[in-house]
Chain A
Amino acid sequence: MEFEDKKMQTVIASDQYLIRLGVKTLLNVIGIESDLYEADSFEELERLVNDVPDLNYLILSEDLLPKQKQDCLKDIKGSCGLCRAIIIGQQKIPNCVFEHFILHSYNRKQVVEKLQLFFLESDSTFGNHDSGTLSDREIDVLKAVALGCSNKEIADQLFISINTVITHRKNITQKLGIKTISGLTVYALMNHFIKAEEVR
């Protein structure tokens, strides 16, 4: 459709080159297309977590963490917002703020499964690339709806079929979570798509 596909942003953090390389290879194997950033020290990780805009995923080896593991993880979680993390380590860290782990004892199959699950799960929650922004065409339809036009009128104005209008309206409602015309009008006014004087 007309909206821009946003690329995923992933940070791979480990002080060992081989681990970073291994992770990159596996991501390639399971077909994850993402911009990758590597951190080889905790400081570098902190910098990336703060600097990379819209960071989605963090794959973190515990060898990188200073002594107070749990506290460090809490800090990381605090600064990376909606980003999800998976930890590579000897064993699961008790009471950890992150729930995904890859243990050193896992074989290839287990590691691949874990990684797939990790990317898949987050995809359905917030990794959804369609971040809810409306396309230009959807905004045109939204404006007309907010101004009180019927589907037929909108179709005529925009030179599209009524079915297309209905599809746009469905997508708008799905993206915004707003169902009623008066709700959509408030949204359009809030975002200056239309002016208060124009509303019928």
Chain B
Amino acid sequence: MVAFTKNSKMAEVILRDYQLLPIISRFGIKLGFGNKSIEEICTDRNVDLPFFLEILNSYHSIDYFPKNHLCDFNADVMVSYLTNTHSYYLNSKVPHIELFIDRMDQAAQFENSRNVALLKQFFNEYKIDIEHHFSEEEKNVFPYILALEKALKSNNCSPQLLKKIKREPIEIYERNHESLEVKLADMKNLIIRFLPPLNCEDDCEHLLTELFQLECDIEDHTRMEEKVLIPKVKMLERKVLEYYGV
């Protein structure tokens, strides 16, 4: 598949793959592109072009794998994007899903209200899981990445940082990086296969659509952490070690 380039027209990108819509809004890019190219839009909006292209392409195509572009952008843009994405999930997606579960709860009768309550509890646990996962990344992983970059720029590397690169490199995080989609898939299955029918088809349909979308989005998010973030951090780790001659 051909990857998008800085000369691709922004409107055509979205027309080709509407799933990219939530991504551009995470960068603060608004609709009404006219015929502007990705490059022009990025300049207008003050968005880091190389990084934006990496993200668009890795969300657009599962097979996309960045090779030469890892040096083109700074880690801090990436960290701020990932942090934005986390809050998009927690502040926009999760409440949406909760809203529809609540509506199903109201429509459910007798035996089924117990079932919906079980689903509600299941999703609640999931929410706690992802909150925990995200806050771990924000507290431990992201500051580490920023510290690596700072060390390279400032010619100043603390002994603690060097120690951490050797003892707890990003590889450890990579190995323990757990998948966040599995529970969502279970939730879909429980609703589609096992929840006795409710009298609120619209809400069920909306809920499922939200779940499908969130699952897709989180899958892409994980892939992007694995294919863009981790390789980039490994490269930074290597550079810091080389630079400080350890």
Contacts and interface: CB of A to CB of B under 8 A. Distances in A.
B187 interface: yes
Contacts of A187: 190, 194
A178 B185 CA distance: 8
B7 to A, nearest CB: 43
Contacts of B167: none
A180 B180 CA distance: 11
Contacts, number: 41
Interface string A147-191: 000000000000000000000000000001111101100110111
Contacts of B122: 182-183, 186
Contacts of A180: 182-183, 186
B194 A190 contact: yes
B12 interface: no
Nearest to B112: A190
A186 B195 CA distance: 10
Given A190-B194, A190-B195, A179 B186 contact: yes
Contacts of B187: 183
A187 B115 CA distance: 9
B118 interface: yes
Contacts of A179: 182, 185-186
B139 interface: no
B111 to A, nearest CB: 9
B193 interface: yes
A104 to B, nearest CB: 42
Interface string B197-235: 000000000000000000000000000000000000000
Given A176-B193, A182-B122, A186-B119, 7 more contacts: A177-B185, A177-B193, A178-B190, A182-B183, A186-B118, A186-B121, A189-B118
16 contacts: A177-B189, A177-B193, A179-B182, A180-B186, A182-B183, A182-B186, A183-B122, A183-B183, A183-B189, A183-B190, A186-B118, A186-B186, A187-B190, A190-B118, A190-B190, A191-B194
Q: Which 5 residue pairs are nearest across A and B when measured between Cβ atoms?
A: A183-B186, A177-B189, A178-B186, A186-B118, A186-B122
Interface of B: 115, 118-119, 121-122, 125, 182-183, 185-187, 189-190, 193-195
